[in-house]
Amino acid sequence: MKKTMCELFAGVGGFRVGMERLGTGWKTTWFSQWEPDKVNQWAHDCYVDHFGDLQDLRGEYHTGEDISLMDKNAIPDHNLLVGGFPCQDYSVAHTLASSHGIEGKKGVLWWQIRDTIIAKTPAFCIFENVDRLLKSPASQRGRDFGIILACLASLNYSVEWRVVNAATYGAAQRRRRTFIFAYRNDTVYGKNMVGVSPVDVLSKSGFMVQAFPIVANTDIASGTLGEYETDEDIINISDNFVFAFNKAGYMHEGKIYTCDISENEIQPILIKQILQENVDEEFYITEDKKPKWVYLKGAKKIPRKTKDGHEYTFSEGPVAFPDPWDRPGRTMLTSESTLNRSTHVVTDPGSGRLRLLTPIEAERLQGFDDDWTNSGMPKRMRYFCMGNALVVPMITRMGEVLDGIMANEEP
């Protein structure tokens, strides 16, 4: 089987970088990256700067446009569909238009993935999302992920998932994300997995446990999606489905198996290993700003009142200030480098002064090459793009397992 890939919600190309680092011949046939309501499409331009643009099957360029406007049948064929799609409201509206099928309340981007799968039927899919996807929304735990699983099941796919802390598997950042691996049931791999017990899938022979080894897992809980074949079934799941998804799991033909796991930890990269020395003056914290930083990073108990007059105390614990050298970085957000509680503050190894991370250090936290985003975009956007990115070495780990699977597929 040809190693061809399509990357949706591509950002600055993290999935593509991770797969191409394998050096095993992966070819990207198309990608899409579009930031809503932005005049400058910095991430798209960074992607093109590294890899060039790609035409669709009509010979047209639409990679930097709203994916919802794209004719999915015009996307070039591929055997692997990937994407780090945004976490939004996945609930289903109750109005069905025959020409459009089901739609999320906010036109969420999962439906664009679903439409792409319907049009192109890729053999395999790998998706990335925040860890809270498994438990959202708070009012109906597990509904959002249940909708995703039901959509994939209805399209003849089985699914594995795992919540991964990147630092646990050797990266420089304590970033927790949900990775989803889906495979078409009529592939060689899909047929071979039919006889494998859920226990073995989750603890020994499945895709995720090979990419992210474990030392133990808890008892496996099970459940079912119920009916999922029609749009009306998906709406019913949106309205009623509740399930306690855990960190690891497997879904086949609507049956769900999930458990907690203990990871086989790998020595992470520490902050001190990614730091530059004696950086430019612009990154240092000035004396007049230090009290504000101390306040933001410190513990707080703040009296507050709701609109209806209810009084309560807002509390939060302290954040290390500065960030210690002997740990991996915290989760980097799109607000990195701004004056806020989540921004990393480190002691410069050369000058000994407190400062922000440089754009290069932000890229290192995510596992990109130095200056990956140094393609003409403003510094602020370099941090923003890294806060939106995924940890590249985690993709390479999964790619190694997928390479072995692809080798057994028919041409």
Whether 411 is covered by a domain: the verdict is: no
Whether 335 is covered by a domain: the verdict is: yes
pLDDT of 307: 86
Q: Are 174 and 86 contained in the same domain?
A: yes
Whether the upstream peptide bond of residue 303 has omega within 30° of 0, thus cis, is no
The residues assigned a catalytic role are: 87
Q: Are 380 and 395 contained in the same domain?
A: no
Q: Are 244 and 214 contained in the same domain?
A: yes
| Single-letter code of the amino acid located at 9 | F
What tens digit of pLDDT does each residue of 320-364 get?
999 999 999 999 999 999 999 999 999 999 999 999 999 999 999
Whether 285 is covered by a domain: the verdict is: yes
Q: Are 118 and 253 contained in the same domain?
A: yes
pTM of the model: 0.94
Average pLDDT (201-222) is 97
pLDDT of 101: 47
Q: Are 307 and 237 contained in the same domain?
A: no
The CATH number covering residue 347 comes to: 3.90.120.10
In this predicted structure, the answer to whether residue 96 has a pLDDT above a threshold of 50 is no
Whether 61 is covered by a domain: the verdict is: yes
Strands 27-31 and 4-8: parallel
Number of structural domains (the chain) is 2
In this predicted structure, the answer to whether residue 106 has a pLDDT above a threshold of 50 is no
Whether 116 is covered by a domain: the verdict is: yes
Q: Are 288 and 345 contained in the same domain?
A: yes
Q: Are 259 and 291 contained in the same domain?
A: no
In this predicted structure, the answer to whether residue 89 has a pLDDT above a threshold of 70 is no
What tens digit of pLDDT does each residue of 226-280 get?
999 998 899 899 999 999 999 999 999 999 999 999 999 999 999 999 999 999 9
**Mean pLDDT estimate for the chain:** 94
Q: Are 157 and 288 contained in the same domain?
A: no
Q: Are 203 and 316 contained in the same domain?
A: no
Strands 80-83 and 124-130: parallel
Q: Determine the Cα angle at 124 with ends 123 and 127, to 5°.
A: 150
Q: Are 326 and 206 contained in the same domain?
A: no
In this predicted structure, the answer to whether residue 104 has a pLDDT above a threshold of 60 is no
In this predicted structure, the answer to whether residue 38 has a pLDDT above a threshold of 90 is no
Q: Is 223 helix (H, G, I), strand (E, B) or coil?
A: strand
Q: What is the residue range of 288's domain? A: 271-388
Q: Are 175 and 252 contained in the same domain?
A: yes
- Residue written as tokens 């990937």? 82
Q: Are 145 and 284 contained in the same domain?
A: no
Whether 400 is covered by a domain: the verdict is: yes
In this predicted structure, the answer to whether residue 205 has a pLDDT above a threshold of 70 is yes
Average pLDDT (139-157) is 95
